[in-house]
Structure 1
Amino acid sequence: MKKLLLPALLAFASLAAQAQTPCPAAGAVVSVGTGTSAVAGFEITSNTTWTSNNIYLLNGFVYVNSGVTLTIQPGTIIKGSLPNKGALIIRQGGMLMAEGTPTQPIVFTSNQPAGQRNPGDWGGVVIVGRAPTNLPAVTNVEGGVVATFGGPNANLPNDNSGVLRYVRIEYPGVDFLPNSEINGLTLCGVGSGTTIDHVQVTGSGDDSFEWFGGTVNAKYLISLAGTDDDFDTDNGFSGRVQFGISIRDPRRGDIATGGVSNGFESDNDATGTNNTPLTSAVFTNMSVFMGTTPAAAAPFNNSAGALIRRNSAQSIFNSVFAGRPFALELNSQTNGNTQTNAQSGALAFQNNVLAGYTPRVSRATGGSITGFNIRSFVGADNDTARTVVALGLNADNFAFEGNCTNNKSCAPAFELPAASILNTGAGFTNAKLTGAGNGGPNSTFDVVTYRGAFGATNWATGWTNFNPQITCYNVAGQTLSNREVVNAPLQALTVSPNPTQGAATLGFDVKRATVATVRVVDMMGREVATVLNAGKLAAGPQALALPATLAPGVYLATVTTGDAVQSVRFVVTQ
């Protein structure tokens, strides 16, 4: 979770500027909500079905009340309002039946047009259940949401909040209040009766997935180009998660003072108490990737593949980590000692491959307990000596949203090549995994031989979208990502550095000679500068200096040609 993130300063530094098959103008949508950002929002009070022949707009906070079921048909498009911070919240006792299919996924996305979408364009999806947490009192959900969870009456471990299957959530994560954000998918006290699988969160302005307590299990999760943490667990979450991947853009992350962005971040609670149940989630077969190009940009703080702290006892097995400064960080600076949990076996980290971490694969922070050595702990049961190349993965496995501009399909080949070292080495003998596939509490786990999220089959094929920036969402029922891409006059808009404290450069490629106008506008749409007025540009890369005297704030650099308009958001700091 993010701390003190500068409000509204989430820069999407690289927008894919491809043209695509013509997108019709947006037609009528079914607006659901109050049309304001008031937290009281709009309440759905009777069973409701959203159908795929409509496009829906979350026009503010939309609540599904207790005893009410919201059913969303396969292939339905739901957009979130930017000015009104649209969000869908399922309260305790409510149910969301969002069951897409591999060929008709359900899509929650930005209401902004293609080429102008950014992290934090809307709120996200919040599900609140009645499963146990370690919160002693009833607690408000983060992000200004009018819903509560936790406390002594949250005692239904098998609570059922519905189904979330074959679902994409794109550009969510609005900063509603300082230090109180909505994530892509927020799960508060959600029970194991709930089904969650095949969910992709892309371009979240905060965490992609966050669990606050609860017992829900999940499979087949994708976190793509998130801003803060990919998989965040707190408040006694004890579910089981298998097959997930995170792919980071090294130029984006938490820009808060002292903030860090991690693949995993896990706390028992905010102050590291001994409140029970301890956070003891078990993750297996996860892939946590961050490429080395482009170079990471300060002040974005992409830190650990997994940061486990504040008395958490979360365990990770059979996974692969590549990129970031550290694979594993155990932090014990607050009450309750995560290192003690590692020493006792309550926290396990085994059969993982940690590739390319030179010279340090792990670190212990906040002080160490007597007899505990982080390098020995990690080195005893994990493969720490591999390079990223030695993994034998396809190069596009590190392709974050935005760098696949020139790939027409933009669909990474995640299936393992036969020569990959990840094809073998998985183990399911630890007590936290035994019984996998054979009944009992671990029966949700599938026993596989490979490490990481993928084996010979690419379960991300078809229903996913790795470049939603260019996708047309104006036709009801059309939720598969656009595959037919034509040569665009503009390619790969970037602002560097981003954020900037002064001078910055707008870069882009022109595929053929054209005439362009380049303007800078603020977030109210007011033009503040003209960089180029009907200037002739030859084919090839372009680099235009942006004004160095802009006041601190968020801006759009907009390039207009005869057949395209593309924008990139950038931040000016003090």
Structure 2
Amino acid sequence: MTNKALALLLIATFGVAMPACKKTEGCTDPAATNYDPSADKDCCCEYAPTPTPSNTVNVNANITNNTTWTSSKKYVLYGFVEVEAGVTLTIEPGTIITGDKDTKGTLIVNRGAVIMAEGTSTDPIVFTSNQPAGQRAPGDWGGLILCGKAPVNLPGGVGIVEGGVEAPFGGSDAADNSGKLRYVRIEFSGIPFQPNQEINGLTLAGVGSGTTIDHIQVSYNGDDSYEFFGGTVNVKNLVALASWDDDFDMDNGFSGKCQFLVSLRNPDLADQSGSNGLEHDNDGQGTTATPYTTPVLSNVSIFGPQATPGTVINTNFKRSGHLRRNTHTRVYNSVFAGFPTGLLVDGSSCETNADAGELKVTRCAYAAMGSLLAVASGSTWDIQTWFDNGGNMSYADNAALGVADPFNLTSPSFVLNGGSPLAAGASFGEADLSDPFFEQVSYKGAFGSDNWTSGWCNWDPQSTPY
């Protein structure tokens, strides 16, 4: 072949092939709005906004007329959503309500408003995070707040809900009715705006005894699972799972009756303020303001973070019960297990109340505490004698309680084994317990042989697709 012929052959070959190496830029994704079928180098794809599903309702304004939320739709709360006075919000069984993470969606039932949220044991109502399964966390949204007109011990008889909400609560109607909450779950809520200014899982502020609250589960909340600011509401069958701060916080003159309460803690999750099972105050300063904080609790089970002595726990865990600041709490027929400290009676006012029979812990069982009893620094009060005179018992380890599997975070069983010392010994002879509200059972703690959490509680909400 001559040199000229070889050159022509090379030109013919590479003259055609070389332009193919220069790729055309464009979007190669058929799902994009600017898809270019002729492009062979992916660049700059653009996509249409994801449409809101047709069965999703965005709730971003106050509720000013009687409204029903149905189970055929999902509701998303944006920011503070208030049910205004004179208005009833009805929520059907099986309805799912989520709180927007960016705006910290929160539902507030104002004084004079009513919420009728009645789920069933097979079809509970769920308030939860709007994040996907596996990506949820405590504090994803605000929580559920009920404000009533029942007495509180704050100046002027009226308070303002903490956590930036600024909704008033309290009044003179002890029998005030804010509606019904039954078979309701509240998950991944709780916003700590700043110290002592938080939204809890379920906030009950000045809520009256005309309100019905039973079968509620608060799980993985960023502050207290339940906080009662005054009021007279009576509650039954409450579950607190893996909250950050306290399980059942009661103050500002709360005087309701409580039966069948249970809590279980995650050993990794505790708040820097100190996490307790019960935390009760008369008010923030421990004054003699009335009405006194005088809740009556029976059949409570508080299971802390320490299943065994070797369990590594967050150092912010403190006590299964912290009674302080002039509270007049009465606790009967209950069980406390697995905390660094069992019971702290904190301050001279509480010691005086205890000696006068106005603060009581009676016929209760304590197990596997780092230290059983504590008093304020410098106090010489004989808490051990007072504890013993109340007919209370203590056990070295949790197994001695004879509870089936109470420390299993994703599938606990709180029912009693055969031969459990908790199966007998409860009593309802005190005047505090004479009200028909209290179901007179033989066992101590929140459970006998009946697992009342079955069917409606969710012990692994992180994995649940909503």
What is the aligned partner in structure 1 of residue 57 from structure 2?
A: 30
Separation in structure 2 between the aligned mates of residue 390 and residue 187 of structure 1, nearest angstrom: 35
What is the aligned partner in structure 2 of residue 427 from structure 1?
A: 427
Question: How many angstroms does 1:392 deviate by?
Answer: 1.4
3-state SS of paired residue (1:246): strand
Separation in structure 1 between the aligned mates of residue 264 and residue 241 of structure 2, nearest angstrom: 5
How do residues 194-233 of structure 1 correspond to structure 2 at under 5 angstroms?
Answer: 194-233=211-250
What is the aligned partner in structure 1 of residue 450 from structure 2?
A: 457
Q: Are the equivalent residues in 1 in contact too, given 2:330–2:359 (CA < 8 A)?
A: yes
Separation in structure 2 between the aligned mates of residue 342 and residue 80 of structure 1, nearest angstrom: 42
1:182 partner letter? I
What is the aligned partner in structure 1 of residue 413 from structure 2?
A: 413
What is the aligned partner in structure 2 of residue 332 from structure 1?
A: 347
What is the aligned partner in structure 2 of residue 144 from structure 1?
A: 164
Q: Are the equivalent residues in 2 in contact too, given 1:173–1:205 (CA < 8 A)?
A: yes
1:379 partner letter? D
Separation in structure 2 between the aligned mates of residue 124 and residue 224 of structure 1, nearest angstrom: 15
State the Cα deviation string for residues 420-468 of structure 1 (Å, max 9, x = none).
Answer: 11100101112211x2xxxxxx221000000000011100000000001
What is the aligned partner in structure 1 of residue 80 from structure 2?
A: 61
Does 1:44 pair with 2:63? yes
Relative contact order, CA 8 A, sep 6+: which one is greater?
1
**Which of the numbers 369, 372, 379 marks the counterpart of 1:368?**
379
Does 1:342 pair with 2:342? no
What is the aligned partner in structure 2 of residue 295 from structure 1?
A: 311
Separation in structure 1 between the aligned mates of residue 313 and residue 52 of structure 2, nearest angstrom: 36
Question: How many angstroms does 1:296 deviate by?
Answer: 3.5
What is the aligned partner in structure 1 of residue 296 from structure 2?
A: 282
- Root-mean-square deviation (CA, aligned residues, Å) is 1.6
| Structure with the greater alpha carbon radius of gyration | 2
Separation in structure 2 between the aligned mates of residue 186 and residue 218 of structure 1, nearest angstrom: 13
Separation in structure 1 between the aligned mates of residue 398 and residue 74 of structure 2, nearest angstrom: 43
How do residues 48-447 of structure 1 correspond to structure 2 at under 5 angstroms?
Answer: 48-137=67-156, 138-150=158-170, 154-255=171-272, 259-290=273-304, 291-292=306-307, 295-298=311-314, 300-332=315-347, 337-357=349-369, 360-368=371-379, 372-380=381-389, 381-395=391-405, 397-400=406-409, 404=410, 410=411, 412-433=412-433, 435=434, 442-447=435-440
Separation in structure 1 between the aligned mates of residue 345 and residue 90 of structure 2, nearest angstrom: 41
- Taking a change above 3 Å as real, the CA distance of residues 91 and 367 of structure 1, as seen in their structure-2 partners, is farther
Separation in structure 1 between the aligned mates of residue 395 and residue 52 of structure 2, nearest angstrom: 52
1:467 partner letter? D
Separation in structure 2 between the aligned mates of residue 141 and residue 344 of structure 1, nearest angstrom: 33
State the Cα deviation string for residues 461-485 of structure 1 (Å, max 9, x = none).
Answer: 0000000100010xxxxxxxxxxxx
**Which of the numbers 457, 460, 464 marks the counterpart of 1:467?**
460
Q: Are the equivalent residues in 1 in contact too, given 2:307–2:398 (CA < 8 A)?
A: no
3-state SS of paired residue (1:342): helix
- Taking a change above 3 Å as real, the CA distance of residues 413 and 179 of structure 1, as seen in their structure-2 partners, is closer
What is the aligned partner in structure 2 of residue 517 from structure 1?
A: none
What is the aligned partner in structure 1 of residue 31 from structure 2?
A: none
State the Cα deviation string for residues 17-58 of structure 1 (Å, max 9, x = none).
Answer: xxxxxxxx994420001xxxxxxxx31111000000000001
3-state SS of paired residue (1:43): coil
How do residues 495-534 of structure 1 correspond to structure 2 at under 5 angstroms?
Answer: none
1:90 partner letter? V
What is the aligned partner in structure 2 of residue 21 from structure 1?
A: none
TM-score for the superposition, normalised by structure 1: 0.70
Q: Are the equivalent residues in 1 in contact too, given 2:152–2:252 (CA < 8 A)?
A: yes
1:52 partner letter? S
Separation in structure 2 between the aligned mates of residue 463 and residue 187 of structure 1, nearest angstrom: 22
3-state SS of paired residue (2:209): coil
3-state SS of paired residue (2:133): coil
Question: How many angstroms does 1:386 deviate by?
Answer: 4.8
TM-score for the superposition, normalised by structure 2: 0.86
3-state SS of paired residue (2:414): coil
Between stretches 206-215 and 177-186, larger displacement belongs to: 177-186
Question: How many angstroms does 1:327 deviate by?
Answer: 1.4
- Return the structure number with greater helix share: 2
**Which of the numbers 435, 441, 448 marks the counterpart of 1:448?**
441
